[in-house]
Amino acid sequence: MKPRVFEPDAIEGETGSRGGQNGAAALARSEKRQQARVLSREKRRKKQYRLIGWLLVAIVVLWGASTLLWSGYGALKTAASREMAIMRLKDAIEDRDVAALQAMLRVTEESVPINEKTLAPLFAYVERHPEAYKQLDREFARQRKSGHVYIKGLTSYPPVFTIHVFEDRYVFEPALYFLHVRVDDPEALLVVNGVKTEEEATKDPFVKKIGPYLPGAYAVTVVHSNGKKKTVRVELFGGARVHEVDITK
């Protein structure tokens, strides 16, 4: 048998063919790896974007929740402080604690000091009318719901006590009442709770204006020029700022 002889061109052609196939395969693998890297990078970016998105949502939610919680805490703290102040006011009135009331009551009228003598009518009234505390609760509830601001001198029917904030604490401004007393003697004198009053003239010579007075129970006595006296009892606790009193009846 004759030995098989390979032609050089045939060998080179076959080798070149295999080399070309290997190069194409290598190029294909390289492109595939490149595509895999691109896909992997895109997946990582999408994952990062999702994470960043969730973090932003979480931050917004936490910020909103913290704002709501903080505002809710502030509202609760304000409401609790207000109710505590109201409770202390009622306790001080019931206990006749003049010192505590001097710290809680705020009166801008210099002619009406807060002391044991001026508070005595208030103590007498609530002792005679225990339901007065329920009236105060109703008035404070209306003030809380309506948020209405009562302006002294312009409000015809002010609350017995107006609650408001003064120097970072709750204080109570009591209503100040005036009396228009009708008498049958223009020269008669008026005495309130045993104290002679300073009268203010009105258009009607038979009507005398006296006041202001804190909420409470008062005895108004008219003393005629002949020494004759007549006394009527007046209760000032809510209602109009100006009360009409007719002693001629």
Instruction: Give the residue with greater pLDDT, 21 vs 190.
Output: 190
Q: Which of 243, 240, 241 is nearest to 232 (CA)?
A: 243
38-84 residue pLDDT tens: 565 565 456 555 645 665 676 667 666 565 555 554 555 667 788 89
For the cut 90, the answer to whether the pLDDT of residue 211 exceeds it is: yes
Instruction: For residue 114, give the 3-state DSSP assignment.
Output: coil
At a CB cut-off of 8 Å and minimum separation 6, what does 4 contact? Answer: none
The mean pLDDT value for 4-29 works out to 56
Residues in contact with 192: Cβ distance below 8 Å, sequence separation at least 6, in sequence order: 210, 213, 218, 219, 220, 221
Report the number of secondary-structure helices (H) and strands (E) in the chain.
4, 10
Per DSSP, which regions of the chain are E strands? Answer: 161-165, 170-174, 177-182, 189-192, 195-196, 200-201, 207-213, 216-223, 229-236, 242-246
Q: Report the pLDDT averaged over residues 122-148.
A: 91
Query: Rounded to whole angstroms, how far apart are CA atoms 96 and 100?
Result: 9
Strand partners, 180: 209, 244
Q: Quick one: tokens of 207?
A: 């009507």
Kindly report the length of the chain.
249
Distance of CA 126 to the CA centre of its chain: 28
Contact (Cβ atoms closer than 8 angstroms) between residue 210 and residue 200 = yes
Q: 3-state SS string over 145-185? A: HHCCCCCCCCCCCCCCEEEEECCCCEEEEECCEEEEEECCC
Give 146-182 pLDDT, tens digit per residue. 765 565 554 578 999 999 998 889 999 999 999 999 9
CB of 230 closer than 8 Å to CB of 141: no
Bridge partners (DSSP) listed for residue 85: none
pLDDT of residue 11: 44
Higher pLDDT: 24 or 87? It is 87
User: Using CA atoms, how far apart are residues 150 and 163, in angstroms rounded to an integer?
Assistant: 10
pLDDT for 101 beyond 80: yes
